[in-house]
Amino acid sequence: MKVLLLGNGAREHAMAWALKRSPLVTSLTIAPGNSGTAMLGENVPLDPTNVPAVLDLVSEKKIDLVVVGPEAPLVMGVSDACRGKGIAVFGPGKKGALLEGSKAFSKNFMKRHSIPTAPFDICTEIGEVEKALKKRTAPYVVKADGLAAGKGAFIIDDLKEALFTAEELLSGRKLGKAGETLVIEDCLSGMELTVLAITDGRNIKALSPSQDHKRVFDEDRGPNTGGMGAYSPVPWADQSIMEDIRKMILEPTLSGLQEEGIPYCGVIYAGLMIDEKKRPSLIEYNVRLGDPEAQVVLPVFEGDFAETLVACCERRLDQLAWPKTEKTAVDVVLASGGYPGNYEKGFPIKGLEELADREDILVFHAGVSMDSQGRFVTDGGRVLSVVGLAQDLKGAVEKAYSGVKQIFFEGMHYRSDIASKAIDFQ
Ligand code: AMP
Ligand code: GLY
């Protein structure tokens, strides 16, 4: 099978790694890919949101399966275009991608299908926003409707400041068109959990639950980032919580899509809040694997990833034996000095060669490139994902940080407490 993978982050490096382990995959092309995926297949420099260019590549390389990593090409309709040419694609079409592409659509969808979520109002004018905020108490949650690369949700303690943020969003000054419609909602409390589920439109199966670490510093301090680490599975997400998530969130999502005539083959990412009574609420949908969640969920997936995706495209996920999770993975993200603010690039990265052949420590590239002398150098905010694999969480944490200690680049920083709360739980 000739596979084309779209995207260029550490998530896509992890997806490429998982695909390459399958005996079904005879050739792997990644567009545009990164220095990590270059070790697993052929990178082709191409913007994955350029749909005609993707179609040309598919026919030039005689691709059998297209796998879409990030959300932007899905929202642009890359899957519909490939399916229109009879090519199997893992990733929803434009309509399904609205679950991530429009928060107003996704909140209304949750409401229509009685999926538990924070009560909300949808506003397009500041007067409506003021009413919606005054109905609520602090902290106020203001969200842009459109795609904002993780920067569209604001949790604000002060009413005046919340109104000001809403005004900035509505005017287009803050996030352009993405902020022209807003969601104002109640603030939920509890513990956050990510459940990535795979669906063929008829069946839905959850991968191992995971947890992201969004803040830049230890103990969840400092500004939000694209994710500083993750682990999977999550010890407190027991069978009864997972069963509730299946019944209250995943299955109603699938039947909702079916009722609304939205075909869906791909990932449903459920961003959840679990309250003190262990009840789940859905904060958001995404329509692709999470980053950094994929870097831990794929290494603990005992099945054949390529075979799973093909079964999805052929709408026969129910015929696949769903494997039990045996291992635990912990991902520590190494970031450039200054990230998530400004940072310099081009610093040589030491220690990657020493970790190249390890089975228990995986290093996925994100902001890395190769300089003219063939050295790996930093080329982004989040540079590497260092993943430790072991039988339990403590072992996986030790493995991940032992890998981190072997890597160095100038300005490198990372969180030293990934998964520590979960270890305390155990
Ligand atoms: P979103 O853009 O919807 O993914 O939100 C980003 C992050 O903001 C989430 O992962 C949560 O940590 C937080 N968040 C969003 N909505 C809420 C809410 N209603 N209550 C509490 N936290 C929230
Ligand atoms: N980990 C959050 C995301 O992928 O959106």
The domain spanning residue 305 has which CATH number?
A: 3.30.470.20
Residues whose CB is less than 8 angstroms from the CB of residue 380 and which lie 6 or more positions away in sequence, other chains included: 336, 345, 366, 367, 368
Claim to verify: residue 7 and residue 125 sit in the same structural domain: no
Q: Return the pLDDT at 150.
A: 72
Q: Is residue 224 part of a domain?
A: yes
Claim to verify: residue 303 and residue 268 sit in the same structural domain: yes
Claim to verify: residue 230 and residue 375 sit in the same structural domain: yes
Domain of residue 159, CATH code: 3.30.1490.20
CA 59 – CA 87 distance, rounded (Å): 10
Claim to verify: residue 301 and residue 359 sit in the same structural domain: yes
Q: Is residue 393 part of a domain?
A: yes
97: CA distance to ligand 2 center in Å? 15
Task: Provide the terminal-to-terminal Cα distance of the chain, rounded to the nearest Å.
Answer: 42
Claim to verify: residue 329 and residue 355 sit in the same structural domain: yes
145: CA distance to ligand 1 center in Å? 13
Q: Which ligand is nearest to the CA of 191?
A: 1
Question: Ligand 1 within 6 A of 283 CB?
Answer: yes
Query: Long-range contacts made by residues 304-308, C-beta under 8 angstroms, separation at least 24?
Result: 304/21, 304/22, 304/23, 304/24, 305/15, 305/18, 305/19, 305/21, 305/22, 306/1, 306/3, 306/18, 306/19, 306/22, 306/24, 306/25, 306/65, 307/22, 307/24, 308/198
Question: Ligand 1 within 6 A of 185 CB?
Answer: yes
Q: Which atom of ligand 1 is nearest to the CA of 118?
A: 19
274: CA distance to ligand 1 center in Å? 13
Claim to verify: residue 172 and residue 200 sit in the same structural domain: no
Claim to verify: residue 51 and residue 162 sit in the same structural domain: no
Q: Return the pLDDT at 426.
A: 61
Q: Is residue 303 part of a domain?
A: yes
| Cα 265-269-273 angle, rounded to 5 deg | 150
Q: Which atom of ligand 2 is nearest to the CA of 290?
A: 4
Question: Ligand 1 within 6 A of 118 CB?
Answer: yes
386: CA distance to ligand 2 center in Å? 17
* End-of-domain residue from the set 73, 93, 113: 93
Helices 94-101, 103-112: inter-axial angle, 10-degree rounding: 100
Q: Return the pLDDT at 381.
A: 95
Claim to verify: residue 382 and residue 281 sit in the same structural domain: yes
Q: Return the pLDDT at 240.
A: 95
**Secondary structure of the chain: what % helix, strand, coil (to 5)?**
35, 25, 40
C-alpha dihedral sign at 182, 185, 190, 194:
negative
CB atoms within 10 A of CB 217: 15
Claim to verify: residue 372 and residue 395 sit in the same structural domain: yes
**The total number of structural domains that make up the chain:** 3
**DSSP structural state of residue 408:** B
Ligand 1 pocket mutation, candidates 284, 285, 287, 293, criterion most atoms within 8 A of CB: 284
185: CA distance to ligand 1 center in Å? 10
Claim to verify: residue 12 and residue 135 sit in the same structural domain: no
Digitized pLDDT (tens) for each residue of the chain, 426 residues in all: 999 999 999 999 999 999 999 999 999 999 999 999 999 999 999 999 999 999 999 999 999 999 999 999 999 999 999 999 999 999 999 999 999 999 999 999 999 999 999 999 999 999 999 999 999 999 999 999 998 877 788 999 999 999 999 998 999 888 888 889 999 999 999 999 999 999 999 999 999 999 999 999 999 999 888 899 999 999 999 999 999 999 999 999 999 999 999 999 999 999 999 999 999 999 999 999 999 999 999 999 999 999 999 999 999 999 999 999 999 999 999 999 999 999 999 999 999 999 998 999 999 999 999 999 989 999 999 999 999 999 999 999 999 999 999 999 999 999 999 999 998 776
Q: Is residue 116 part of a domain?
A: no
Q: Is residue 350 part of a domain?
A: yes
Are the C-beta atoms of residues 384 and 363 closer than 8 Å to each other?
A: yes
Domain extent at residue 166 = 121-185
282: CA distance to ligand 1 center in Å? 10
Q: Which atom of ligand 1 is nearest to the CA of 212?
A: 10
Ligand 2 pocket mutation, candidates 291, 296, 297, 418, criterion most atoms within 8 A of CB: 291
Domain of residue 86, CATH code: 3.40.50.20
Q: Which ligand is nearest to the CA of 226?
A: 2
Q: Is residue 115 part of a domain?
A: no
Q: Is residue 108 part of a domain?
A: no
25: CA distance to ligand 1 center in Å? 37
Ligand 2 pocket by Cβ (under 6 Å): 150, 212, 227, 286, 290-291, 293
Q: Which ligand is nearest to the CA of 284?
A: 1
* End-of-domain residue from the set 44, 77, 93: 93
Q: Which atom of ligand 1 is nearest to the CA of 192?
A: 12
Claim to verify: residue 79 and residue 49 sit in the same structural domain: yes
130: CA distance to ligand 1 center in Å? 20
Q: Return the pLDDT at 175.
A: 85
Q: Is residue 112 part of a domain?
A: no
Are the C-beta atoms of residues 90 and 268 closer than 8 Å to each other?
A: no
Q: Which ligand is nearest to the CA of 152?
A: 1
| Cα 143-148-152 angle, rounded to 5 deg | 25
Claim to verify: residue 181 and residue 214 sit in the same structural domain: no
Query: Long-range contacts made by residues 46-51, C-beta under 8 angstroms, separation at least 24?
Result: 48/6, 48/7, 48/72, 48/73, 48/78, 49/73, 49/76, 49/78, 51/76, 51/77, 51/78, 51/81
Ligand 1 pocket mutation, candidates 186, 191, 224, 283, criterion most atoms within 8 A of CB: 283
283: CA distance to ligand 1 center in Å? 6
